[in-house]
Amino acid sequence: MAGANHRPRLRDLDNTGFGANSSIEGGRLVNPDGSNNLKKRGLPVWQRTSIYHTLLRMKRSHFFLFIFLLYTAVNFFFAIVYFLTGVENLVGGDGPQTFFGKFAEAFFFSSQTLTTVGYGRVAPSGILTNSIASIESLLGIVIFAVMTGLIYGRFSRPRAYLMFSPSIIIAPYKDGKGLMFRVATYKNNHLTDVEASATLALHVKENGKTVTKFYPLNLELSKIQSLALSWTLVHNITEESPLYHYTREEVAETQMEVVVTIKAFDDHFSNIVQQRTSYSYKQVVYGAKFLPMFERAQSGLYTVMELDKINAYEMVAMPEKEHSTV
């Protein structure tokens, strides 16, 4: 690799939690949503999966679909039980004669029992049917108590609500180049004491073996008091940078990945929130600069931030004097 003998010996990190053996890694280390690109095996699913954490982190549409399917499945199960024990034990109904009518009567009675609505039109008769209805009522109380807690937990769980620019750019900066990405809040929450850190992962050859080296990327500004507008984070590619002597082609060969962590204090939750993402070498745009994503309103009374422009950039000419760097 060009310039390999002239690269400064930088101290790499060994406390990132990721291994140095590149041959066992599959793709990127961290997914764009901040989760580790990792699948665990060796134990049964019910032992290595937390249902509580899964339901809390599940997409909102999937979560409510899960509730609907669970509700429907429980009703179907008890409807079958009532049907097998005899629909005639559900007194007060219209006395349906068809198979579908009998099952529908059992299903809707199950729904009323599970939700403890109890319209009073149909009532169980006999010890067996009453016992089944009692068990279903108890199960309904437990299910809805758990679901209420989960819904509250999902809405009350502190989140940073940050969006990152999909691209990380190499732009002219000062007398050289800088590695830049942009972040902004997309909800009406207010973050203060915002801290950012970035770690570079490089796959390099060492004694004939490919290993992963981790380096901290020094940011020009790593802490701000308030994240009111967008924040462009810049790593100045100087001689002290681990990227200084890498060419564009070499960065692709090393399959560079930048792991970013943002930590802040949320005034609404009165709690510390954190969000993480990563950029792979495929997301690097060379020779570009970000365009402004906020402007003054026409009335001049407030500032408008256009979140859909967080990745807006234009191509620019890079410095003529290259020093064999990205």
- Give 106-119 pLDDT, tens digit per residue: 899 899 999 888 77
CA distance 78 to 84: 10
Say what the pTM is: 0.76
- Provide the pLDDT for residue 118: 77
* CATH number reported for the structural domain that contains residue 214 in this entry: 2.60.40.1400
Last residue of some domain: 156, 186, 203? Answer: 156
151 and 188, same structural domain?
no
- Provide the pLDDT for residue 5: 44
Domain residue limits at 242: 13-28+159-315
Give, in order, the Cα–Cα distances in Å from 121 to each of 38, 92, 108, 140: 54, 6, 11, 20
Would 53 be classed as within a structural domain? no
- Provide the pLDDT for residue 23: 53
Q: For the chain, which ranges sit under pLDDT 50?
A: 1-6, 323-325
- Provide the pLDDT for residue 20: 63
Would 239 be classed as within a structural domain? yes
281 and 180, same structural domain?
yes
Last residue of some domain: 132, 156, 180? Answer: 156
170 and 147, same structural domain?
no
Measured in whole angstroms, the distance separating CA 257 from the mean position of its chain's CA atoms is 18
Give, in order, the Cα–Cα distances in Å from 282 to each of 108, 236, 258, 286, 293: 54, 20, 11, 11, 24
* CATH number reported for the structural domain that contains residue 94 in this entry: 1.10.287.70
DSSP symbols for 72-84: HHHHHHHHHHHHH
268 and 126, same structural domain?
no
- Provide the pLDDT for residue 233: 95
284 and 202, same structural domain?
yes
- Provide the pLDDT for residue 202: 85
